[in-house]
A = this chain, B = another copy of it.
Amino acid sequence: MAADALSRVFSALADPTRRDMVARLAVGDATVNELAAPYDVSLQAVSKHLKVLEDAGLVSRSREAQRRPVHLEAQVFDLMTKWIERYRREAEERYRRLDDVLAAMPDDVAPTPARKEDTPT
C-alpha cells in the first residue's frame, strides 16, 4: 500500500506487539532472536513485524556477522507528535474560546446541554 508516512507510523504502532518491541528497543538495540524471545510466535512473524516497523521508519537494521541488530530511530516520533500537538492545540484553544463565550453569557440564555457552535462557514 502506498500509504503516506504518517499512516505507516500510526499503523505500525497500532499493534501492541510492535509497540512492545519499540519499548524494548528504547532500552537498547537487539537482534531478531532477542526481540522474539518474549513472544509466543514464530521468528518469521517477528521478522514481519520488524519489516513493518522498518517501513514506517521507526527502526533500522544493520548487519553484524549473521546477526541483524535492530535499532530504534526515535526521530520519527516527531512526525506524530507534531501532528497530534497541532490539532490538540487547536481543539483546546477552541474550547477555551467557547468557555469565554459561555462565561460571558447570562445563565438563563446558556445553550442546550451540549456544546453546539456548529455551522462554521
Contact = CB atoms under 8 A, between A and B. Distances in A.
Interface of A: 3-4, 6-7, 10-11, 13-16, 19, 22-23, 25-31, 34, 60, 62, 64, 69, 71-72, 74-75, 77, 80-81, 83-88, 90-92, 94-95, 112-118, 120
Given A26-B90, A74-B95, 11 more contacts: A7-B15, A10-B13, A10-B19, A26-B94, A27-B90, A27-B94, A28-B118, A29-B118, A30-B118, A71-B115, A74-B87
A117 B19 CA distance: 22
Nearest to A77: B88
A75 B84 CA distance: 11
B64 A114 contact: yes
B6 A69 contact: no
A121 to B, nearest CB: 9
